[in-house]
Amino acid sequence: MPFEVPPLPYDYDALEPHIDGATMRVHHDKHHQAYVTNANAALEGTDLADAAVEDVLRNLGSLPADRQTPVRNNAGGHYNHSLFWTWMKPVSDPARPEPDGALRQALDSTFGSFDEFKAKFKAAGVGRFGSGWAWLVHDGSGLAVVSTANQDNPIADGQTPLLGVDVWEHAYYLKYQNRRPDYIDAWWNVVDWDAVASGFAAAA
Ligand code: MN
Interval 171-200: pLDDT, tens: 999 999 999 999 999 999 999 999 999 999
Render pLDDT for 114-134 as a digit per residue (tens, 0 to 9): 999 999 999 999 999 999 999
Residue 93 falls within a domain, yes or no? Answer: no
Distance separating alpha carbons of residues 39 and 33, to the nearest angstrom: 10
Same domain (yes/no): 77, 148? no
Both 79 and 161 in one domain: the answer is no
Q: Give me the number of domains the chain comprises.
A: 2
Does 190 reside within a domain?
A: yes
- Closest by CA position to 131, among listed 103, 76, 158, 169: 169
Distance 171 CA to ligand 1 centre (A): 5
Q: Which residues of the chain have pLDDT under 70?
A: none
C-alpha 132 to ligand 1 mean position (Å)? 9
| 84 Cα: distance to centroid of ligand 1 (angstroms) | 9
pLDDT at position 93: 86
Range of 183's domain?
Answer: 101-203
Confirm whether 5 is domain-assigned.
no
| CA gap 76, 65 in Å, rounded | 17
Q: How far is the CA of 155 from the centre of ligand 1 (A)?
A: 17
Q: Residue 68: what pLDDT?
A: 97
Gap from CA of 28 to ligand 1 centroid (Å) = 8
The model's pTM: 0.97
Residue 94 confidence (pLDDT): 76
Separation between Cα atoms, residue 88 and residue 90, nearest integer Å: 7
CATH no. for residue 26?
Answer: 1.10.287.990
CATH number of domain containing 175 = 3.55.40.20
Q: HSE of 176 in the Cβ direction (CA atoms, 13 Å)?
A: 21
Residues 42 and 120 in one domain: no
